Structure 1
Amino acid sequence: MNIKIASTAAIAALCVSGCASTYSVSEGEIDPDDFGEANRQTYAAMIVNPDPVYTEPLESTAEAAADAVERVRERRVEESRAEDTTSAPGGGG
């Protein structure tokens, strides 16, 4: 009985090992540097403009923060403005 279990496990391991290949029939040898490219592209798309240009200086006073807290408490929050997020750097693929 142990021989059947051992041979079944060996055959299963052999079959699964074929899935770990870095060769594709349609693409040929796969470059290891290309692995993770989808994640890198996703992270790059998540970056909002890293060097924004503002037409007016940003308010960063305690008075402005207190006004914002009051607007939230009174439920009269200002509508947010659309930001340009389409200028993310692209990568080759």
Structure 2
Amino acid sequence: MNIDTLRRCALIAVLPALAGCADQSIFEAPGDASFGEANRQTMMAQIVNPEPEYDTEMTTSGEHAADAVERYRDGTVKQPASIRTTDVGSGGPN
């Protein structure tokens, strides 16, 4: 036997083993109907509702925003009212 014949015999012997590696399940639809559900839910959560319904009307307008931008450019920004979030020195429950 020469070397070419040995190579051909080795190739023929290896082919059935390689055929076993071919998995057809990646090309078929999954059996479980919920397969990929987490991915679909994540994608749906990122979609913005094009026609949202609000309980109350919005309290801002384009005019107020334009006035705020002009005040910012002029350097006459309105200072917000201070809000106390904690009472320092208040005692705990007795």
Larger Rg: 2
**TM-score of the aligned structures, taking structure 2 as reference length:** 0.36
Of Structure 1 and Structure 2, which has the larger fraction of its residues in strand? 1
Normalised to the residue count of structure 1, the TM-score between the two structures is 0.36
Q: Which gives a bigger RCO, structure 1 or 2 (Cα 8 Å, sep 6+)?
A: 1
